[in-house]
Structure 1
């Protein structure tokens, strides 16, 4: 049986967040944060099966590079309470396999965000719940 989960939150400097660190964690990668002058390395984090930056037609090609994208977001905001990004997390039905789950997430993000002119950093996680069953989400 599918379990529904959908949440949205703001990634904000007022909360002590860094867009670069958040992107590194969600993508299970290592990214260099130019504003803070340090690397955020989450490359040992397990469970991320798909990761891509999705851009609307006409967006600068350089924004498809996650490091460039999030460092430009950080550089464009000067306030200590800047709202840097929105995080939208949603569950993927457990009944789907990984390929179907990635396709569902890509379709949803393309339709709801990219089509509306936003750049999206999509990361599909296929973690295990406490009971050992899959806990897929994006």
Structure 2
């Protein structure tokens, strides 16, 4: 049976990028968190009803207290206060099954790094995923460097992605055996290993968001009457001509300023001396 990709995105929460653990926890838990360090209040609600189970491992307080604890542990202005992950889940899993997978993954993080974490399950139509915010320090207060060290980070991230995929697949076997299993590897790696289905998908050129938007706009324009498309084309030509005219005008103004500066800096010519020829007799 073909396998789908196990999306697993990891990001460091950095103050140097204006990130904060309080803002991230408030967002994923759809709650209000007052940042004790800055005095700022981060407020999110669950108006869309997408929030599922919120779970904590390695910490006995509330998510807000956990977030403030992460901030209080770091004094530097450019500190890395924690890590945030987004992990995709099969939509076919029940809320209970999905929460069970997330909790098992948090326990794995605790056993491997000694860090506490908070998670929140989000379920949108066709998009079930979990957010996890984890401490960047272990239970003894030591900084966890295996993920920030360039020599070890790649292998560690690979391990985490495989761990997540294994936990998801174990839950699929347990509660939804007809659901496609997931694979933590990229399509290119799967194709190289002989996965024909992945090879076929790799052969299809990838279109980014900009290309998709352009194609979508082109399709919408194609459905318009011919006279409307003609007016749109004329308007685009006028806009292009106006842009070129403005560019030419700015270039002329720059040349005029340069000419004026040259004229001001050039030495002024002295008037010729008048010779006194005396009186003629």
Q: TM-score, normalised by structure 2?
A: 0.42
Aligned residues: 126
Could you tell me which residue of structure 2 aligns to residue 52 of structure 1? 55
Q: CA deviation at 1:2?
A: 4.7
Tell whether the 8 Å contact from 2:53 to 2:120 is kept in structure 1 after alignment: yes
**Structure 2 CA distance for aligned equivalents of residues 3 and 125 of structure 1:** 19
Q: CA deviation at 1:38?
A: 2.4
Tell whether the 8 Å contact from 2:56 to 2:118 is kept in structure 1 after alignment: yes
The SS at the match of 1:40 is strand
Q: 1:124 aligns with which of 118, 121, 126?
A: 121
Q: CA deviation at 1:81?
A: 0.9
Could you tell me which residue of structure 1 aligns to residue 10 of structure 2? 8
Q: CA deviation at 1:72?
A: 1.8
Return the structure number with greater strand share: 1
**Structure 2 CA distance for aligned equivalents of residues 106 and 3 of structure 1:** 21
After TM superposition, which residue ranges in structure 1, 4 or more long, deviate above 4 angstroms? none
Tell whether the 8 Å contact from 1:2 to 1:94 is kept in structure 2 after alignment: no
Q: Say whether 1:93 aligns with 2:90.
A: yes
In structure 1, stretches of 5+ residues that fail to align are 129-133
Return the structure number with greater helix share: 2
Aligned pairs for 1:110-121 (under 5 A) are 110-111=107-108, 113-116=109-112, 117-121=114-118
Tell whether the 8 Å contact from 2:51 to 2:123 is kept in structure 1 after alignment: yes
**Structure 2 CA distance for aligned equivalents of residues 74 and 110 of structure 1:** 22
In structure 2, stretches of 5+ residues that fail to align are 131-281
Could you tell me which residue of structure 2 aligns to residue 27 of structure 1? 29
**Structure 1 CA distance for aligned equivalents of residues 36 and 47 of structure 2:** 22
**Structure 2 CA distance for aligned equivalents of residues 4 and 80 of structure 1:** 34
The SS at the match of 1:91 is strand
The SS at the match of 1:81 is coil
Based on CA coordinates, which of the two structures has the bigger radius of gyration?
2
Q: CA deviation at 1:32?
A: 1.0
Sort the Cα spacing of 1:97 and 1:3 in 2 relative to 1 into closer, same or farther, 3 A: farther
The SS at the match of 1:123 is strand
Q: TM-score, normalised by structure 1?
A: 0.82
